[in-house]
Structure 1
Amino acid sequence: MIICILFMSLNSTIIKADNITEDERSTWIWNPWILVDNEINTLEFLETKHINKVYLQIDYEISKKVYQSFIEKATAKDIQIYALAGESYWITENGIEYQNQLMDWLEHYQHEATDVQRFLGIHLDIEPYDTTLWTTKQTTAIQTYQQLVVQAKKKAQSFNLPLQLDIPFWYDEISYDTKYGNGILSEWLIDHSDGVTIMAYRDNSQEIIKIAKNEIEYAKQMNKKVVVGVETLESKEGDSVSFSEEGEAYMNRQLSKVQKYFSEKTSFKGIAIHHLESWMEMRP
């Protein structure tokens, strides 16, 4: 009886340990040529900053061997690598071909790579609001964007990969009425992806929490995950957008407050810091 109880106790402990999930701490690499020039220092920086996920831009001019080398080394350090792509012009006429090109490249890459060299997900940052179409025909722009997401999701599923999206914090103020139904754009995107990263670009915890709350609450209802993204690149949109002026120590204090506030929310997945090179140049 004592042995049985002991076994049950140990087994219970193991199960609990398996269920513990570490918060995501991620960053974007928009310039993958840094891997050609400085792979070792890049990996050291990621490890020093406790990064466990990287959204890595796909550049067709870079040899697949560069991606294979970096991902294999990152995998050894328990850093997940997601394929990053997306442009606002993808929503223009025939823009779907750019996404198709990405998916074709990714399919070939995954086939040629070994297990430890493969991407573990797809991360899209399309930003349709940076087009004239959004300004003049917003409904058309949104519907085209939705079409891209639906097709990307199908492709991701065929690759057995999760699909994540970057979205601005203000999508919860955008309504849609398209062939995909009607509602709030942020909610639709959460529903039709495996997770979103909110571009909650503010330089203090109170504002970050305020503008990320709605998405995190909705994602909780839908059993989805949300990562909160912040900016380190100098911004021309105002003094309160980026942490570039305040420095890294101040940023980390603010992010700790954000994590503490959302820690009880099952939908809160972690923090993303935009982006690698501006973060590297940031003052302490």
Structure 2
Amino acid sequence: MIKGSIIKVLVLVLMMGMLSGMTNEAKAQTYSKATWLWNPWSLVDQQDEILQFFQDRQVNKVYLQIDQELSPAVYQSFIAKASSLGIAVYALDGAPDWAAPKGYLAQDRLFSWLTKYQTSSLPIQRFKGVHLDVEPYLYSGWNSKRGAVVKAYQNLYIRAGKQTTQLGIPLEADLPFWFDEIKYNNTFGSGKLSDWVQKHTDGVTIMAYRDTADLIAAFSEHELKTGQSLGKPVTIGVETGHSYEGNYITFHEEGEIYLNQELEKVQGKVSGYKSFSGFAIHHTDSWMRLAP
């Protein structure tokens, strides 16, 4: 009788261990590995090469720049192939002057194009979301008229939120890690700009551009905490291109092996946050040229 009870307990413990392992594995599989693809013209004759690179690096999310002069057929072909490989493709656009007084005109042109594209494409050819990279701090009025620029920046996300809702797809944004130091006090209320953007989007990618795990994790901490409280995902972005700001910004000098080692360390530091959703590598072209 006692022996039978012991066996039952051992079986139960074994089953719990298996379930725990399955849960951890499932959790690991939810992490995204994303990249920015800024040159959509490379898809004209390099689709297969790029897709093979994504498969080799286990990329499952791509922020793909929209160039309205490029044939929609190129986007349709690439997205269909990517979708079949389990890669979600988001429409990428934005510029500093989108935060200008009439910046919404460029934004509206994007969404007009995107609406036509989505309507005329098969489900497997459609974008899975919108990813905006605006960077208003590069706009000429950032220092002289920051209050107005910040408000225009907020307005564009309110507008984009309505536009993506109409399309039935999520809205994401790129954020510099230091946006939690930028304050706003206007008709939208008051607080930290990064918190506001996280609240009004479906997810953000933090441009935590440093080449050591400690700094990358530290620079992402506030947004991870905010994302956790809001129930919003946070992706941590790192740089692989050459930077004139200094070698500490990018993994360009260290290479891909070191990059992967540091990202593994970062994951160990931040995986306790439910908001942590993975990494994004900036960007496809420089990543493909990165030394081992």
State the TM bucket, normalised to the shorter chain: over 0.9
Superposed displacement of residue 169, structure 1: 0.2
User: Are 1:67 and 2:110 matched, yes or no?
Assistant: no
Q: Which has the larger radius of gyration?
A: 2
Residue pairs, 1:27-106, within 5 angstroms = 27-106=35-114
TM-score by length of 2: 0.91
1:146 counterpart = 2:145 = no
Aligned residues with identical type, % of pairs = 44
User: Any conservation in 1 of the 2:101–2:152 contact (CA below 8 Å)?
Assistant: no
What is the CA-CA distance between 1:179 and the residue it aligns to? Answer: 1.4
Amino acid in structure 1 at the alignment position of 2:185: D
Query: What is the CA RMSD across the aligned residues, in angstroms?
Result: 1.6
Q: Per-residue CA shift, 1:56-89, capped at 9, x if unaligned?
A: 0000110000000000000010000000000001
The alignment covers a number of residue pairs equal to 272
> By how many angstroms is 1:92 displaced?
1.3
Separation in 2, partners of 1:65, 1:18:
37
Q: 170, 185, 210: which is aligned to 1:202?
A: 210
Aligned pairs (5 A) from 1:255-274: 255-274=263-282
Unpaired runs of 5+ residues, structure 1, are 1-8
The runs of at least 4 consecutive aligned structure 1 residues that moved more than 3 Å come to: 15-21
Supply the AA of the counterpart residue of 1:28. Answer: W
Q: Secondary structure in 1 aligned to 2:149? A: helix
Structure 2 counterpart of 1:136: 144
Distance 1:253 1:262 in 2: 15
User: What are the equivalent positions in structure 2 for 1:117-136 lying under 5 Å apart?
Assistant: 117-136=125-144
Counterpart selection for 1:157 from 153, 165, 173: 165
- Asked whether 1:26 is paired with 2:38, we answer no
Structure 2 spans left out of the alignment, 5+ residues:
1-14
Q: What TM-score, normalized to structure 1?
A: 0.93
* Alpha-carbon distance in 2 for matches of 1:279, 1:17: 29
Q: What are the superposed Cα offsets for residues 85-138 of structure 1, whole Å, 9 maximum, x if unpaired? A: 000011113110000000000000000000100000000000000012111011
Deviations 1:135-187 (A, max 9, x none): 10111000000000000011101111000000000001011012111100000
Q: Which moved more, 1:20-29 or 1:274-283?
A: 20-29
